[in-house]
Structure 1
Amino acid sequence: MNTTQHDAPRRYGISEQVQSTNEIERTCESIRQLGYGVIDGGYSHEQLATLADAFDRTQESYASRHGGVDALRSIDEHDTIRLPLAHDPAFLELATNGRILDICSRLISGYSVLNQQNGIINPPNGKQYNQGAWHRDLPYQHFVSSRPLAINALFCLDAFTLQNGATMVLPASHRQEAFPSDHFVKTQALSVAAPAGSFIVLDCMVFHSGGVNTTSKPRRAVNHVYTIPLIRQQINLSSALGDDFTDDSKLRRLLGYDVREPGSVDEYLARRPKKP
């Protein structure tokens, strides 16, 4: 229920207040304050079924293309699909979800670049997987910034529940440089349940972890990280996708075509805008 003038919390001595009047603004406020939020992706049951089919097909073809499941398991990559948008256009649509790009435009100064997209499988029956440890999505970094440098949008292809390993977060840990004490982690960690079709959106500096999936079915998700252009992509998308992947200028900017490193001084100078 929306808060109105009549049921607003009592207060005094307050002359300034953040305004959040719609789902996008409320999610942004939650991310700023707590480091995370949940928002519906706007997909129908039919669209979710199409995405689920695409995920399962891509998982199978991805393993075949990269040496098989055993080869991927030997490098702890068997529960991950790297860059699924290169395999199926359904995942490109997911990476350009209008609600997520709106959130990124409000939280990240300037414009954002898609740093990575990965399909993630949380295996059944309590098996460990590589996302089941506390981390930031800018790993090994122990600093905080006044504005987000990167946003994580984790798409819940399946519902995230306490039973199948819902993502755990340490609220407001994006405001503290060091990882909290073990006691704080044990007492303050929260599991974020979310329905299928929603995004769990994080400030990438908030500490989080995948939970343990105790059910008999794998829990599927697609992770996206959007960053300021200064941060290097996990995979160089312009090289991976090829220069003729798209001629849409906005999509090329999102995918990082505009921030490729010059290979020489001549190439750098050729990119400099000419003065009128």
Structure 2
Amino acid sequence: MENKFKYSEADLATFEQVISNHGWIIYEDAVDADFLKEITDSLAKLYEIRRKIQINNGIAANMDGTLHHLVEKDIFTLKFLKQKYCADQIRHFLKGNYILNSLGAVINVKKTGRYVQNIHRDIRSFTGDFKLMIQLMIILDDFTLDNGATYFLSGSHKQEEKPDDDFFYNNADRAVVKKGSIIAFDANLWHAAGKNYTENPRRALTMAFTRPFFKPQLDYPRALGYAFGEGLDENLRQVLGYNARIPENLDEYYQPVEKRMYQPGQG
């Protein structure tokens, strides 16, 4: 793959140019090896929990290898978010404060297919120059052409129409990158996971961040607990959505500014 997508420094001017022109950018050597191992080692157990729920609720078809909503108190999640990976880029892209929309993982293995291998973008409404969502992909295993390196149709974040299969696969770039890299991309970008032809899994974390008024996929403050949020630092309170909650009743609504569920500066 061409070096035009790969960088090691978090330079906002470069980020703006690359993501504006191509829709995606790679930051190499972003996550250290020990933390990568901690994350990767935890996925099998976390997948087993989610797979049982998928099966029990009758939605297991085409969802194998997908782990949704890994925001939990006792796993790697909060440690990861505290690192503020690409925080300046996310804030620059979304023009201010932001919250977590989703945080999950994909385990891409040889024997199975899944919906992420379809050509898709991760925001249903085309928003053009008004940016609502940016995504990060944390590379946990080396991405190669053989194990399903993601296809990105560079520049397609500027077009609303879904490309046909022939055009997409003939023109898309492949994210051939080393583990520990982070790929940031515009949520309007058309992309697809590749097929894994090897015997080993190809794993990645996937996450999305949005402007605070955009509804997250899961109510993280309620899931973690409002009392739990009182012990978090201000950055985590912001990113996890504690500053952009919806009042449940009039008592929660009629509060002085500093106690309101939806805090100032959320857009």
- 2:11 aligns to what? 24
Q: Distance in 2 between matches of 1:182 and 1:60?
A: 33
- Pick the aligned partner of 1:119 from 95, 105, 129: 105
Instruction: Indicate conservation of the 8 Å contact 2:47/2:65, yes or no.
Output: no
With 152-161 and 20-29 compared, the bigger mean Cα shift is at 20-29
Shift of 1:28: 3.9
Write the distance in 2 (CA, Å) between the matches of 1:152 and 1:135.
Answer: 13
Please, what TM-score do these two structures have when normalized by structure 2? 0.83
After superposition, the C-alpha distances for 1:198-229 in whole angstroms (9 at most, x for unaligned) are 11111011111111111111211111100011
Structure 1 equivalent of residue 77 of structure 2: 91
Match of 1:79 among 53, 60, 65: 65
1:230 corresponds to which residue? 213
Shift of 1:128: 1.0
Q: Tell me the SS of whatever aligns to 2:92.
A: helix
Change (3 A) 1:147 1:185: same
2:148 paired with 1:165: yes
Per-residue deviation, 1:61? 4.4
Larger Rg: 1
Q: 1:196: how far off?
A: 0.4
Matched, 1:209 2:192: yes
> Could you tell me how far 1:98 is from its partner in structure 2?
2.5
Fraction of identical pairs, as percent: 28
Q: Kindly provide the CA deviation profile for residues 143-199 of structure 1, in whole angstroms up to 9, marking residues without a partner as x.
A: 333242111101111111111111111111111122234443232111111110111
Distance in structure 1 (CA, Å) of the matches to 2:251 and 2:219: 21
Aligned partner letter, 1:256: G
Counterpart position of 1:17 = none
Tell me whether 1:103 sits opposite 2:89 in the alignment.
yes
What amino acid is the match of 2:140?
L
Equivalent residue of 1:251, what SS? helix
Deviations 1:102-145 (A, max 9, x none): 210121112110000012111224x2112111111112x2x333
Q: CA RMSD in A?
A: 2.6
Report matched runs for 1:237-276 at 5 Å. 237-246=220-229, 247=231, 248-270=233-255, 272=257
CA distance in 2, matches of 1:165, 1:72: 27
- 8 A contact 2:81–2:236 mirrored in 1: no
- Match of 1:260, SS state, is coil
1:134 aligns with 2:119: yes
Residues 24, 99 of structure 1: 8 Å contact kept:
no
User: Aligned to 2:47, which of 59, 72, 86?
Assistant: 59
Is 227-236 or 244-253 further displaced after alignment?
244-253
Gaps of 5+ in 2: 1-6, 260-267
Q: Partner letter of residue 19 of structure 2?
A: I
Q: Which of 156, 165, 178 lines up with 2:161 in the alignment? A: 178
Match of 1:99, SS? coil
Deviates more, 1:72-81 or 1:243-252: 72-81
Aligned length: 250
TM-score (norm 1): 0.80
Residues 58 and 28 (structure 1), Cα distance of their counterparts in 2 relative to 1, 3 Å cut:
farther
Is the contact between residue 52 and residue 157 of structure 1 (CA under 8 Å) also seen in structure 2? yes
For 1:90 and 1:30, the matched residues in 2 are separated by 30
Identify if the C-alpha distance between structure 1 residues 266 and 47 changes in structure 2 by more than 3 Å, giving closer, same or farther: closer
